[in-house]
């Protein structure tokens, strides 16, 4: 029988190590260490410290930033777990120089310095530029919706929250009556009495929370042309209820703009809204301002850089903005693929992604308005039977959005028309004098209203436009996959747009540092 040296994992050992030796060149931890101690200006954190005159020394931001970045790169976002790692993990010990910051110190550092984090994000982006990792040829923009530290159960319009407050008040009164009844009972159950008192306390706290919010906050309005009230949230009113592929979440939309050459994130912002179209202009302006600030380019868009984004960013206002600012952008609408012959057989072969059930209505199918010959120049309309209809009315539609022409078939013609049963919902209405013939309406200013959308359609439908848009997915989707899967960012752990944006930029910063470690000159840096 062979003999082996005995071993035991359940034992302690005193090991003499050098912390710098644990940070081997070519590793992510070495990249963090090199950047923080050789490249980054951490004086952006100095404003937060006022402990010169005999006060207790604070943990150096270099130490805190090192352990936080390394922890986030491993999918560790819990401050308590980061503290534990600083005690037990050798790499964390090397990065922290064997110091163990308290978890409250770590949590405060992450949430209290969003402006400093943005400054560091820009410094790392400048290092990427100096290392030649920015191509500045194509930027792809997309978003990732994630929940935050806010409960969707506390969401609602002001009317819904008022109804919830009234319901809670009614429940409190009911339980108080029950509590008094138990008190008066000769066979009073102490345990039941205690549970009732706890219930009253819980309901009262919820009622007071809603009441305080309704008295101090204002209704939250949407960002449409005609703003309407959207759901507020008591725990984090800057977050939004949004629909994702995994259901409805209460959180933020992390938007990232990515350079194609090495998939470097050049802009990262968080928005508390489910719709993406209103985020395009702020992101484009932010890129321009950042490149000017870092002296990469005075106006990056004058260099004819290509910009592409998903269909969620397309609307008439954005297309007009892109056109007027001469931005070389390719942003398709949601009908982009249906116009492409390459996708003509896709639905027949694979079916729709989400088959829509046909809703039964009391209305029958009739000959559509598209079968009528309408001439906008002469303001005339000819029905499928070849009869000229009379112009009944001209003016704005019900919503006052479009200028429309309303036509109606003449009774004498509709009454004897052989297509009457196929053309009219109620064919008998044409048989008496008080009835009416077939009615249709046409928008005459639609082309004018959507001229910039039509301009973009022509661009993305071209061979070059299709080629540009084909690079969007391969540029930006791997970035979200890396952050979401490899870094395990499934939700934001903070509240408030500013703090959430800081956390989002931390993860995007980690992604860029990885690119520097893999493609930059950091692997060749000499150890000191």
**Side-chain half-sphere of 127: how many Cα atoms within 13 Å?**
26
The Cα–Cα gap between 98 and 67 comes to 11
Per-residue buried b or exposed e for 345-359, using 16+ beta carbons within 10 Å of the residue's own CB: eeeeeeeeeeeeeee
The stretches of 325-371 forming alpha helices (DSSP H) are: 346-350
Q: H/E/C letters for each residue in 94-130?
A: HHHCCCCCCHHHHHHHHHHCHHHHHHHHHHHHHHHHH
Q: Which residue has the tokens 């600083």?
A: 86
Measured at the CA of 231, the angle between CA 229 and CA 237, to 5 degrees, comes to 110
At 147 the three-state DSSP class reads strand
Task: With CA atoms as reference, report the closest residue to 272 among 152, 141, 386.
Answer: 152
What's the confidence (pLDDT) of residue 66?
95
Q: Would you say 94 and 28 are in contact if contact means Cβ atoms under 8 Å apart?
A: no
pLDDT by residue for the chain (528 residues), tens digit each? 888 898 888 888 787 888 888 998 889 999 999 999 999 999 999 888 887 777 788 899 999 999 999 999 999 999 999 999 999 999 999 999 999 999 999 999 999 999 999 999 999 999 999 999 999 999 999 999 999 988 888 888 888 899 999 999 999 998 888 878 877 776 667 788 888 888 989 999 999 999 998 888 888 887 766 677 888 888 888 888 888 877 888 999 999 999 999 999 999 999 988 788 889 999 999 999 999 999 999 889 988 899 999 998 998 889 999 999 999 999 998 888 777 777 666 666 666 555 545 555 667 788 988 889 988 888 899 999 999 999 998 888 776 667 889 999 999 899 999 999 999 988 888 888 888 899 999 887 655 567 888 899 999 989 999 999 999 989 999 999 999 999 999 899 999 999 999 999 999 999 999 999 998 877 544 444
The Cα–Cα gap between 230 and 240 comes to 9
What's the confidence (pLDDT) of residue 307?
95
What's the confidence (pLDDT) of residue 86?
94
Helices 316-324, 280-293: inter-axial angle, 10-degree rounding: 30
């Amino acid at each position: 029988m062979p003999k082996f040296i005995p071993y035991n994992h359940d034992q302690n050992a005193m090991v003499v190590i050098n912390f710098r030796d644990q940070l081997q060149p070519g590793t992510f931890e070495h990249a963090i260490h090199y950047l923080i101690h050789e490249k980054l200006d951490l004086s952006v954190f100095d404003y937060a410290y006022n402990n010169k005159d005999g006060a207790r020394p604070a943990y150096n931001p270099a130490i805190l930033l090192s352990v936080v970045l390394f922890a986030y790169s491993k999918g560790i976002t819990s401050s308590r777990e980061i503290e534990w790692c600083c005690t037990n993990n050798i790499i964390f010990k090397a990065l922290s120089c064997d110091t163990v910051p308290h978890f409250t110190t770590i949590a405060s550092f992450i949430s209290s310095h969003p402006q400093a984090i943005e400054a560091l994000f820009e410094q790392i982006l400048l290092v990427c530029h100096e290392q030649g990792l920015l191509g500045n040829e194509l930027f792809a923009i997309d978003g990732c919706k994630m929940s935050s530290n806010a409960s969707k159960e506390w969401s609602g319009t002001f009317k819904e929250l008022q109804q919830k407050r009234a319901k809670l008040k009614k429940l409190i009164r009911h339980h108080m009556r029950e509590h008094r009844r138990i008190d008066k009972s000769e066979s009073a159950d102490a345990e039941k009495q205690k549970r009732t008192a706890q219930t009253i306390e819980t309901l009262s706290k919820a009622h007071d929370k809603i009441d305080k919010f309704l008295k101090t906050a204002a209704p939250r309005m949407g960002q449409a042309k005609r703003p309407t009230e959207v759901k507020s949230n008591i725990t984090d009113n800057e977050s939004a209820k949004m629909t994702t592929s995994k259901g409805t979440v209460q959180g933020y939309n992390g938007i990232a703009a990515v350079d194609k050459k090495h998939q470097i994130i050049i802009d990262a912002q968080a928005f508390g809204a489910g719709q993406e179209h209103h985020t395009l202009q702020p992101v484009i302006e932010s890129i321009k301002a950042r490149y000017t600030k870092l002296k990469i380019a005075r106006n990056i868009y004058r260099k004819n850089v290509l910009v592409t984004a998903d269909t969620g960013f397309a609307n008439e206002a954005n297309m007009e903005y892109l056109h007027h600012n001469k931005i070389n952008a390719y942003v398709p609408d949601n009908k982009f693929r249906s116009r492409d012959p390459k996708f003509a057989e896709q639905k027949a072969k694979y079916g729709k992604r989400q088959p829509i059930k046909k809703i039964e209505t009391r209305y029958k199918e009739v000959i559509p308005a598209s079968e009528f010959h309408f001439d906008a120049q002469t303001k005339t309309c000819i029905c499928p039977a070849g009869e000229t209809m009379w112009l009944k009315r001209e003016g704005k539609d019900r919503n006052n959005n479009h200028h429309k022409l309303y036509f109606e078939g003449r009774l004498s013609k509709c009454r004897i028309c052989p297509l009457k049963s196929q053309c009219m919902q109620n064919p008998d209405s044409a048989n008496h004098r008080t009835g009416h013939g077939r009615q249709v309406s046409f928008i005459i200013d639609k082309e004018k209203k959507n001229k910039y959308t039509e301009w973009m359609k022509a661009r993305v439908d071209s061979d070059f436009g299709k080629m540009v848009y084909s690079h969007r997915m391969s540029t930006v989707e791997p970035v979200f996959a890396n952050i979401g899967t490899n870094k395990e960012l499934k939700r934001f752990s903070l509240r408030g747009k500013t703090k959430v944006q800081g956390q989002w930029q931390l993860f995007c910063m980690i992604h860029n540092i990885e690119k520097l470690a893999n493609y930059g000159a950091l692997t060749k840096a000499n150890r000191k």
